[in-house]
Homo-oligomer: A and B are copies of this chain.
Amino acid sequence: MISIQSSTSKPFSPDSVQNGSELTLSGSVYRIRDMGSFAFIILRTARHLVQCVFDPLKCDFELSSIQENSTVRVTGIVKLDARAENGFELHINYITVLSTPYAQMPICINKKGLNISLETNLENRPYVLRNHRQRAVFKLQEGIVSGFRNHMLANGFTEIHSPKIVKTGAEGGANIFKMDYFGNKAYLAQSPQFYKQTMVGVFDRVFEIAPVYRAEKHNTSRHLNEYISLDFEMAYINDMYDVMAMETSMLRAVMNELETNYSPELKLLNVDLPKIDVIPALTFMEAKSILKESGHKIKNFYDFEPDEELAISEYIKKEYNSEFVFITHFPSSKRPFYAMDDKEEPDYALSFDLFFRGLEITTGGQRIHRYEEQVQKMKDKDLDPDEFESYLMIHKYGMPPHGGLGIGLERLLMKLLNQQNVREASLFPRDLSRLAP
């Protein structure tokens, strides 16, 4: 028998290096630049590229014994140098090779620009992600998630985990994945809607960060069949504007988190973070009027077409200098059965979208909390309340006024980086034709 102690291994941070001190780093040999009398060995560590200097007079090994994509442990002396990427160079004393690649990569990944198609990128994702700019995208994804979560926790929201194999779809429509569950028909959750409302009855405020599934049968640049939804739901609201205010402060917290803790990646990818002060809100009808006045021909009277989302966003950017805009009061007929209708204008739901740089990234609103109102709305939409027995328990036995929203993580990241295709913002995207890697 032996005893396992706590781990003492700590990650490396370039901020803590001291001039003249010895430093040992592990990493992958990203690039070797032979300068003749010496060489640069660029080490790819967990987060940073570190410039190591090989001087044959000071090392008892040959440069040729080191190859790109080997993993190594390097020991050397720190020399602070403001010109170097992280403010220092490591002058190598010795290197231990830990592993060597079996083959050369078909795609050269140690350059700034990859010059490959998205298709090729996705096919070769397992190693293309090792490119320092590619991986920075997903470090920023982590930052968005951290910013979201920290804001929720600080505001008294409880984190929940709800099942993704479900008996009933929450969002309706045909875009739901079916599966066999021990002889019963089951679905993959389109959203955690029922569960987060249920948990609002328990904890007042809840959030969840988890995959959701949409069996979209078309390949577009803005749809994924599996994506990460950032959901929150909050009780004791006065109206849906409380939900929108919470999203506004959350988005500010996210941008602040990125600015504070992710500056290497923001710099590397040249990211222009949106400034968020207040966010303008238009009603659906106001937005359609603006479109019409600007000469746009309205074809869809219940929702917005992609070009309309773009046009509205451009208008708001120009007139109000905001890269975000809320649209409220959507036609009730196209919003889900759990959306509360406006008591004064029942054809419109107390429901909203948020557009960011021309793309819808959020749908949310106030939910029905009264039992009879929810049962009636189901009937009005030709749904059978008996199918929703356990969901309706929450209304039957008392629910506070509440509302919430869902944000598509990959869409938010995509627009933040001004990417052209949402697949770029997903580690391993799932679409009509893509199940691997």
Contacts and interface: CB of A to CB of B under 8 A. Distances in A.
Interface stretch (A113-121, A172-180, A343-351): A172-180
Q: DSSP majority for the A interface?
A: mixed
A357 interface: no
Contact count band on A: 35 or more
A142 B158 contact: yes
Contact of A10 (B3, B156, B241): B156
A37 interface: no
A339 interface: no
Interface stretch (A203-211, A295-303, A376-384): A203-211
A36 interface: no
B205 A11 contact: yes
Contacts of A246: 7, 9
A187 to B, nearest CB: 9
A400 B28 contact: yes
Given A7-B249, A28-B400, A211-B164, A435 B202 contact: no
B210 A130 contact: no
A195 B397 CA distance: 43
A34 interface: no
Interface stretch (A53-61, A76-84, A85-93, A387-395): A387-395
A163 B104 CA distance: 27
A4 B244 contact: yes
A124 interface: yes
Please indicate which of the listed interface residues A10, A45, A398 has the most CB atoms of chain B within 10 Å of its own CB. Answer: A398
B165 A225 contact: yes
Given A236-B98, A427-B160, A5 B396 contact: no
A126 B7 CA distance: 41
Contact of A248 (B5, B27, B45, B141): B5
B186 A435 contact: yes
B99 A165 contact: no
A65 to B, nearest CB: 15
A394 B71 CA distance: 13
Contacts of A252: 6
Contacts of A228: 161
B186 A161 contact: no
A25 to B, nearest CB: 10
Given A28-B398, A71-B401, A99-B369, 5 more contacts: A3-B279, A5-B278, A126-B201, A163-B226, A163-B429
25 contacts: A3-B280, A4-B244, A6-B245, A6-B278, A7-B249, A9-B246, A26-B235, A26-B236, A28-B400, A46-B203, A71-B400, A71-B401, A99-B398, A102-B371, A123-B390, A126-B391, A126-B393, A126-B394, A130-B201, A162-B427, A163-B428, A164-B164, A165-B225, A177-B181, A198-B437
